Amino acid sequence: MKDVHNQLCSVKRQNIVTPVAQIPQKSVPSTAPAVSTTSSQPQPALTPPSAEQTVAATSSGGQTTISLTGSGTSYSKIEGPIDPEFKSKRQVAGMYQGIKVWSPVDPPGQLGIWGTEVTVDFDICIADGACIEACPVNVFEWLDTPGHPASEKKPFMIREKDCIFCMACENVCPPQCVKIFQKNQ
């Protein structure tokens, strides 16, 4: 199934036919808390941001209380579909640019489920781009997730509030990692 998907996926075909050049990114001060790797004791993956970091994150798109980098070693393979009842089984671990992130989170290997109405299980997602292409209102943007075993990028629901609940993204997702909830559900 995955081989057929890789052959039919327009994003994968585009990368095979014309590889995308990696553009070096400028160094930008991170609004996410940094995790030190020099200490001999393990550091927690989730640390509350300083007031300065919260102000910077809020002004650049919303509150951020989690980091996408860390020393997490939870790399077990997870199969879809996303659990439609995760909201009653999991707790909110933090926020990333104003979007809720549901536990467990142990970056970079385990990133949890992201979103409230438009939700994506980042641990199931294989980053084929089907949801991004299907969305008529451009809810998603690519988010780099370096070190994640399933893929190095994920569809981030940066414009979740713009969702029109057409279910296109949920219906086209091959690993079934997307779940759309109507407001107040």
Q: Decide if 72 is inside a domain.
A: no
- Residues listed for the chain: 185
Q: Decide if 70 is inside a domain.
A: no
End-to-end CA separation in angstroms for the chain: 32
Output the CA–CA distances (angstroms, integers) from residue 155 to 15, 113, 148, 177, 178, in the order listed. Answer: 17, 12, 13, 11, 10
Domain that holds residue 113: 79-185
Tell me the pLDDT tens digit for each residue of 6-27. 555 555 444 444 444 444 444 4
Q: What is the pLDDT of residue 111?
A: 92
Angle at 72 between CA 112 and CA 21, to 5 degrees: 80
Tell me the pLDDT tens digit for each residue of 22-51. 444 444 444 444 443 444 444 444 444 433
Q: What is the pLDDT of residue 70?
A: 79
- Residue 39 CA to chain centroid, in angstroms? 28
Q: Which residues of the chain have pLDDT under 70?
A: 1-61, 74-76, 184-185
Q: What is the pLDDT of residue 135?
A: 98
Q: What is the pLDDT of residue 81?
A: 94
d(CA 159, CA 96): 13
The tokens for 174 are 């091959």
The total domain count for the chain is 1
Place of tokens 């893929």: 151
Q: What is the pLDDT of residue 87?
A: 95
Q: Decide if 94 is inside a domain.
A: yes
Read off the CATH number of the domain in which 89 is found.
Answer: 3.30.70.20
Query: What does R_g of the chain's alpha carbons equal in angstroms?
Result: 17
Give the three-class secondary structure for 95: strand
